[in-house]
Structure 1
Amino acid sequence: MELRHLRYFIAVAESRSVRAASEQLHVTQPAISRQIQDLEEAIGATLFERTPRGLKLTSAGMAYLAEARDILARVDAANRLAHRIASGVQGRLRVGFVENASWSGLVSSALHAFQQTASDVALELQPMNTPEQLDAIAAERLDGGFCYRFGALPDGFASLPLLEQGVVLAVPEHSATGREGPVDARDLVDVPFIAFPRHVYAAYYDRLISACAQRGLTLDIRQEASTETAILSLVAAGVGAALVNAANRERPPARVRFVDVRDLSVRLPLEFCHLAQHGNAALQRFIDLLAANKNA
């Protein structure tokens, strides 16, 4: 049995005429009659009574008509759903992000635009640091993520470069450091620092420590915290200073000041990372949107 059997049956049942169904479907009358006979043989029941006034549904035929309509409606709905998913306007998209990357600019604009243009895609946003995101993407727990990348990507990955951030010095509001404006790295030799443990993101940690050392600064790390949010809360409490992503300027914590370090430059390249081979049309739609916004 094929779907055309159901379509022919419904057309005949609704018009009560093979001739009318033939005109409606643009199929010859003998072909329709043959398909109806095949259908009746397949299910082992007579669906129509042949009367002088035309065809009349039997009780079995009336019951079969309701089910046939439901089957075709569900097939049509399945077809529409598959088309929408294949077009990237329906489905699920799981995206990781480093929190400070999403506070303004390209990332927040892209997320907003995607929700406006693909409102039927279930967008799941998960805050994670970069190594956690890369692990989750590799394990297919995430479809992609906004990562600050250092070094080569794992095999099988691809990325879209978006923008570059830098670092800035965060100090307690009452601190004398930077009160008169930008400072040099050597001015921070005796300043107590808060940093994250090296195991959180070894590549970035090593890059930061090396850049400081090149400017004659060995960080006096008194406290460690695993996220910049926690680090900045310790700065606000007066525990020490910290070198943090300059994106934090967009959302400055209370009791924290940001100070430029004139001679210290650490590039923080933000990229959208994902598996090179994927079958998620919603992900591809999001990547295309990011690329368009980036070049706008």
Structure 2
Amino acid sequence: MELRHLRYFIAVAEMRSVRAASEHLHVTQPAISRQIQDLEDAIGATLFERTPRGLKLTAAGSAYLGEARDILARVDAANRLAHRIASGVHGRLRVGFVENASWSGLVLSALNAFQQAAGDVALELQPMNTPEQLDAIAAERLDGGFCYRFGAWPDGFASLPLLEQGVVLAVPEHSALGKHGPVSARDLSGTPFIAFPRHVYAAYYDRLISACAERGLTLDIRQEASTETAILSLVAAGVGAALVNAANRERPPARVRFVDVHDLDVRLPLEFCFIDRHGNAALQRFIDLLKAHSQPPA
């Protein structure tokens, strides 16, 4: 039995005529009659009675008509769903992000545009630092993530460069540092610092320490915290200063002031990372949207 048997049967049942069904379906009358006979043989029941006024459904035919309509409706729904998934407008997309990258600008705009364009995609956002995201993407717990790049990505990964940010000095609001404008790295000698533990993101840690050393500054790290939110909380409490992502200017915490360090240039390149051969249409739609949003206006 094939779907065309059901379609021919439904057309004949609704029009009560092989001839009318033939004209509607653009199929010859003998072909339709043969398919109806094959259907009756397959299920072992007579579906139609022939009367002077045309064809009439038997009791078995009436019961079969409702089921046949339901089957075709479900097949059509399955076809539409498969098409929507393949088009990237239905399904699930799991995206990781470093929290401060999502506070303004490109990332927020892209997420909002994706929700507008593909509202039937279940978008799951998970805040994680970059190494956690890379592990989750490799383990297929995430489809992609907004990560800061230091060094090569793991084998099999691809990425879309988005923007670059830098670092800024965070100090307690009553600190004398930066009261009259930007400072130099050497001005920070002897200042107690709060920083990430090296194991959280070794590549970034090493780059930051190296950049400071190049400017004659050895960081006096008195306290460590695993997130910038925790680091900034310690700064607010007066524990020390910290060099943090300049994106934090978008959401300055209470009792913290940001100061530029004019001779310290630590680039934080933000990229969207994913497995190169991913096969997720929703992810590809998101990547295409990110590309469109990251292009400067003509």
Q: TM-score range by the shorter chain?
A: over 0.9
2:8 aligned with 1:8, yes or no? yes
2:128 aligned with 1:128, yes or no? yes
Matches within 5 A, 1:135-146: 135-146=135-146
> Which position in structure 1 is the counterpart of 2:201?
201
The alpha carbon displacement at 1:50 in A equals 1.4
C-alpha distance in structure 1 between counterparts of 2:182 and 2:103, whole Å:
24
SS at match of 2:199: helix
The alpha carbon displacement at 1:287 in A equals 0.4
How many pairs align? 296
The alpha carbon displacement at 1:208 in A equals 0.3
Please provide the CA RMSD for this pair. 0.6
> Which position in structure 1 is the counterpart of 2:19?
19
C-alpha distance in structure 2 between counterparts of 1:112 and 1:50, whole Å:
61
Identity %: 90
C-alpha distance in structure 1 between counterparts of 2:150 and 2:140, whole Å:
21
> Which position in structure 2 is the counterpart of 1:45?
45
C-alpha distance in structure 2 between counterparts of 1:120 and 1:129, whole Å:
27
Q: Counterpart of 2:186 in structure 1: which amino acid?
A: R
> Which position in structure 2 is the counterpart of 1:257?
257
C-alpha distance in structure 1 between counterparts of 2:240 and 2:276, whole Å:
42
Q: State TM-score, norm by structure 1.
A: 0.99
Matches within 5 A, 1:10-159: 10-159=10-159
The alpha carbon displacement at 1:289 in A equals 0.6
> Which position in structure 2 is the counterpart of 1:178?
178
The alpha carbon displacement at 1:53 in A equals 1.6
C-alpha distance in structure 2 between counterparts of 1:202 and 1:261, whole Å:
22
Q: Counterpart of 2:175 in structure 1: which amino acid?
A: S
2:293 aligned with 1:293, yes or no? yes
Q: Counterpart of 2:291 in structure 1: which amino acid?
A: A
C-alpha distance in structure 1 between counterparts of 2:45 and 2:200, whole Å:
70
C-alpha distance in structure 1 between counterparts of 2:45 and 2:201, whole Å:
70
Q: Counterpart of 1:14 in structure 2: which amino acid?
A: E
> Which position in structure 2 is the counterpart of 1:228?
228
C-alpha distance in structure 2 between counterparts of 1:263 and 1:192, whole Å:
19
The alpha carbon displacement at 1:99 in A equals 0.3
Listed as ranges, the gaps of 5+ residues in structure 1 are: none
C-alpha distance in structure 2 between counterparts of 1:43 and 1:201, whole Å:
66
Cα deviation per residue 1:107-143 (whole Å; 9 max; x = unaligned)? 0000011101111111000000000000100111100
The alpha carbon displacement at 1:52 in A equals 1.8
SS at match of 1:199: coil
Q: Counterpart of 2:262 in structure 1: which amino acid?
A: R
* Runs of 4+ residues deviating >6 angstroms: none
C-alpha distance in structure 2 between counterparts of 1:85 and 1:198, whole Å:
41
Listed as ranges, the gaps of 5+ residues in structure 2 are: none
Q: Counterpart of 2:238 in structure 1: which amino acid?
A: G
